[in-house]
């Protein structure tokens, strides 16, 4: 097992940030709750909606089929498009950005060595039109991802694309669709069987935001030439680390404990700030994971708790010139998580020049590598000096193994934190309310009562519209 991830929480502690920090006594006070959360998560591993905890162990065989399919896609198609939303889009996007060339789609074909990659995660009509302007549908494989096949956004995209394919390719249109869905339940599996699509299955007990390590994420990654088995190994090793109930040796459990205390101390915003462009979309993925899992109005006892912490994405050093002013001098309501990279995949030297200009010459002879990590150190110092809670997760390098570890770390932290809050980490009633209202507005059968409820809702007052 390689040690590629370190968790440094010095700047969460009162000894570093002062009175707003966390004390050793506070940690001791919730240690029993953290240990109970660890036991609950371990006991439910692989059961119910914790089926995602089996993914590092049960996807290797499926990965062989995925890799074979990916080789065929890479050989035959110039474009690969994911149709999905939520975890079906955020996970593949995060892994693509983390592990491939940062301007991958702009590379010539011989350097890219794979199809151009697009993730369509919205139903903005201009976006769909723009996609069709830059791809050739006859040279594109589309991966439609939805467990239920009832996701309005994904299925509307699918209807548009499949109609286009049939108009261009006739009976061969089905060769341009791969469905990733439930094995037995839902609409997409019925359509896939009827149309004879190549199909991969989302295992039971795996919700969208926990699905990156199953075919939802593994197929797009493999098409891009990413070593998916190495990703699974990273997740597997992080799971092994998390099996210990010794809090001092379980970074995901300790991170959950600290966030639990911080939330109870009024820190209701979690800022995710990677200092690496490769990890910038990990922030987007994390935002769904943290918000949708922990944002719950009631706990398991039926008590109204309005739990959760608002995730905010940020990027170092870009947002040092925008958001950091607020983080340093604004309300004491945030925890900032820095994501750092020890060894970048490239080294870029800063050449000598204009030595007579002191504000420029001090950079000469250094590297962008040193500059970005020095700016991280400086921002961390400024926040800590101002008494603002922050901690740092450092990856030795960004590769398949470390990304597998990092994603699994955040999933375990979320599971532990949800257990400490005594909430259902895996449901999403707030999301479902919006979905149901949409169905009712479109006149979908079975949603008549919801339509009646909407019709009787208070109407907007014209005097409040200017």
d(CA 177, CA 73): 11
Q: How far is CA 447 from CA 324, 436, 457, in A?
A: 46, 7, 16
Is 292 designated active site? yes
Q: Is 97 helix (H, G, I), strand (E, B) or coil?
A: helix
| 3 class by beta-carbon count within 10 Å (0-12 exposed, 13-18 middle, 19+ buried) | exposed
Is 185 designated active site? no
d(CA 378, CA 112): 36
Of 435, 444, 450, 451, catalytic:
435
d(CA 428, CA 408): 21
Please name the residues in contact with 354: beta carbons below 8 A apart, sequence gap of 6 or more.
Answer: 360, 361
* Residues 6/390, Cβ–Cβ less than 8 Å: no
Please name the residues in contact with 251: beta carbons below 8 A apart, sequence gap of 6 or more.
Answer: 5, 7, 241, 409
Q: Measure the CA dihedral 380/332/416/201, to 10°.
A: -80
Give 250-266 as a 3 state SS string: CHHHHHHHHHHHHHHCC
d(CA 21, CA 15): 7
* Residues 267/387, Cβ–Cβ less than 8 Å: no
d(CA 363, CA 47): 54
Q: How far is CA 32 from CA 247, 399, 416, in A?
A: 10, 36, 13
Largest CA-CA distance found in the chain, in angstroms, rounded: 75
Compute the C-alpha angle 32/33/38, nearest 5°.
Answer: 95
What is the C-alpha R_g of the chain? 24
Q: How far is CA 273 from CA 38, 279, 393, 452, in A?
A: 27, 9, 10, 44
Strands 389-397 and 5-8: antiparallel
Is 435 designated active site? yes
Of 171, 303, 321, 460, catalytic:
321
Question: Active-site residues: which are they?
Answer: 292, 321, 435
């Amino acid at each position: 097992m390689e040690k590629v991830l370190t968790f440094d929480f010095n700047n969460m502690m009162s000894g570093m940030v002062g009175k707003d920090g966390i004390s050793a006594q506070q940690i001791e006070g919730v240690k029993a709750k953290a240990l109970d959360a660890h036991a609950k998560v371990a006991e439910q591993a692989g059961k119910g909606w914790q089926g995602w905890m089996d993914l590092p162990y049960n996807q290797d065989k499926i990965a062989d089929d995925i890799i074979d399919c990916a080789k065929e896609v890479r050989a035959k198609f110039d474009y690969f498009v994911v149709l999905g939303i939520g975890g079906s889009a955020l996970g593949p996007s995060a892994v693509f950005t983390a592990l491939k060339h940062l301007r991958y789609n702009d590379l010539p074909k011989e350097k890219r060595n794979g199809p151009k990659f697009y993730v369509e995660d919205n139903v903005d009509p201009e976006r769909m039109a723009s996609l069709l302007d830059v791809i050739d549908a006859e040279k594109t494989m589309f991966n439609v991802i939805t467990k239920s096949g009832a996701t309005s956004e994904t299925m509307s995209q699918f209807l548009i694309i499949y109609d286009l394919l049939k108009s261009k390719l006739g009976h061969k249109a089905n060769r341009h669709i791969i469905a990733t869905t439930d094995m037995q339940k839902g609409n997409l599996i019925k359509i896939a069987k009827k149309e004879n699509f190549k199909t991969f299955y989302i295992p039971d007990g795996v919700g969208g935001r926990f699905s990156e390590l199953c075919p939802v994420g593994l197929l797009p990654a493999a098409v891009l030439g990413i070593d998916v088995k190495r990703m699974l190994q990273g997740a597997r090793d992080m799971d092994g680390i998390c099996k210990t109930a010794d809090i001092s040796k379980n970074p995901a459990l300790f991170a959950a404990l600290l966030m639990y205390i911080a939330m109870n101390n009024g820190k209701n915003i979690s800022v995710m700030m990677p200092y690496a462009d490769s990890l910038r979309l990990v922030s987007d993925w994390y935002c769904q994971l943290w918000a949708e899992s922990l944002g719950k109005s009631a706990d398991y006892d039926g008590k109204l708790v309005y739990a959760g912490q608002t995730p905010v994405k940020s990027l170092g050093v870009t947002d040092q010139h925008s958001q950091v002013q607020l983080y340093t001098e604004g309300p004491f309501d945030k925890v900032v998580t820095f994501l750092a990279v020890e060894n970048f995949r490239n080294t870029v030297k800063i050449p000598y020049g204009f030595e007579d200009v002191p504000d420029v010459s001090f950079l000469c002879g250094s590297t962008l590598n040193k500059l970005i990590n020095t700016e991280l150190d400086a921002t961390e110092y400024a926040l800590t000096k101002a008494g603002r809670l922050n901690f740092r997760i450092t990856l030795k390098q960004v590769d398949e193994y470390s990304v597998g570890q990092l994603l699994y770390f955040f999933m375990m932290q979320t599971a532990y934190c949800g257990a400490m809050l005594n909430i259902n980490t895996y449901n999403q009633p707030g999301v479902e309310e919006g979905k149901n209202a949409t169905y009712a507005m479109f006149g979908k059968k079975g949603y008549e009562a919801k339509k009646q409820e909407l019709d009787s809702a208070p109407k907007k007052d014209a005097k409040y519209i200017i």
